[in-house]
Amino acid sequence: MLTGHPFEDLRTIIAQLPAADDCAARKYMDAATKAQHIGACGLTDIGAWLASWQAKAAPQLKDVHICLLASSYKDGGNAEGVLAYIAATAKGRAPVNLLCVDKGIGLRALEMAPSLPHDVSADWAEADCMAAVAFGMEAAASGGDVLGIAALAPGLERHARRVIKAIRGDVSVGEDGEGVISCADNPLEALRLYGGREIAGSIGALIAARSRRLPVLAEGYAALAAMVVLDAVMPGACDHVKIAAPDDAEFEKISVALGYTPIVSHAVGVGPGCAVPVALTLFEASCLVPQMPDMA
């Protein structure tokens, strides 16, 4: 039952998120170890994780979607680049399009008012913040086997690092952490004070995916900040999420310190959304492990 207090209602939703299917994961591992006479390794870890969230002993990647959440910040610079990239994806001319076509991945963009920059210095009402979370839930509307999420917004990195610092004061984020108020006991307040629409939207996307037991391959600072918020609200809330690749050295340092080691160790760096299909190659390989012939 809704209380009329947006953040309280969101906490209730998070607390009711479903768990993984451990039985499916065990069946995958049984098949993988029987086929190869091997124990746990990198690929089987990924495969077992996929199986547990798809609730299938034989996980598959026939229906994969990537959603780009687009926004902007008042202090982040011109948003024209965001609009240009989204327009390019619609015409099939962005780097991510080539990688998606190659793998048969669906691609869509959620425009979170990029032409109306978010002002972090203003008082972001809980209801408006929650509206951005709810809008982001549309990212999982297509369902499928795996959801990829990424975001683009000038200035995103700085604000995401401030959200992380407000919640996890033990993680160094350099100068971006200066003047940040601790919100360790109220992580959603960190989102309201320091985050923007694409971070809130990423939270919504992750919640909606978890409610469907849909595994997520996430990319970028918005997803990382969203994961920190959700895990602070409920430990394990992002067990259905893997990070595709680090954006940069700072991203890798922060994500590893938080226990979110990226699937791919090197930054992809050719455009928003591109790390997801690159990391998906390892997912595809993990699905094939139980089918590999016994060489003994």
Q: Tell me, what CATH number does 59's domain have?
A: 3.40.50.10210
User: Mean pLDDT across the chain, nearest whole number?
Assistant: 93
Q: What are the tokens at 143? A: 């369902």
- For the residues 84-102, what does the mean pLDDT come to? 95
- For the residues 186-211, what does the mean pLDDT come to? 98
Q: What is the pLDDT of residue 264?
A: 95
- For the residues 54-67, what does the mean pLDDT come to? 97
Say whether pLDDT at 291 is over 90: no
**40 is a domain residue:** yes
Say whether pLDDT at 296 is over 80: no
Q: How far is CA 142 from CA 16, 60, 146, 284, in A?
A: 22, 16, 10, 20
- For the residues 35-40, what does the mean pLDDT come to? 58
CB 263 within 8 A of CB 279: yes
**1 is a domain residue:** no
**15 is a domain residue:** yes
Quote the longest CA-to-CA distance of the chain.
66
- For the residues 123-140, what does the mean pLDDT come to? 97
Q: What is the pLDDT of residue 77?
A: 82
Give the number of domains in the chain: 1
Q: How confident is the model at residue 40 (pLDDT cuts 50, 70, 90)?
A: low
- For the residues 6-16, what does the mean pLDDT come to? 95
Q: What is the pLDDT of residue 39?
A: 56
Say whether pLDDT at 59 is over 70: yes
Say whether pLDDT at 80 is over 80: yes
- For the residues 224-228, what does the mean pLDDT come to? 97
Say whether pLDDT at 41 is over 80: no
CB 225 within 8 A of CB 195: yes
**33 is a domain residue:** yes
Say whether pLDDT at 36 is over 70: no
Say whether pLDDT at 177 is over 70: yes
Q: β-pairing, 64-70 with 146-152? A: parallel
**62 is a domain residue:** yes
Q: What is the pLDDT of residue 38?
A: 57
CA-nearest of 134, 28, 118, 132 to 74 is 118
Say whether pLDDT at 192 is over 60: yes
**296 is a domain residue:** no
Q: How far is CA 96 from CA 88, 105, 249, in A?
A: 10, 10, 22
**115 is a domain residue:** yes
Q: Which domain holds residue 204?
A: 6-291
Helix axes 197-211, 220-233, angle to 10 degrees: 60
Q: What is the pLDDT of residue 182?
A: 96
**200: part of which helix (H) or strand (E)?**
helix 197-211
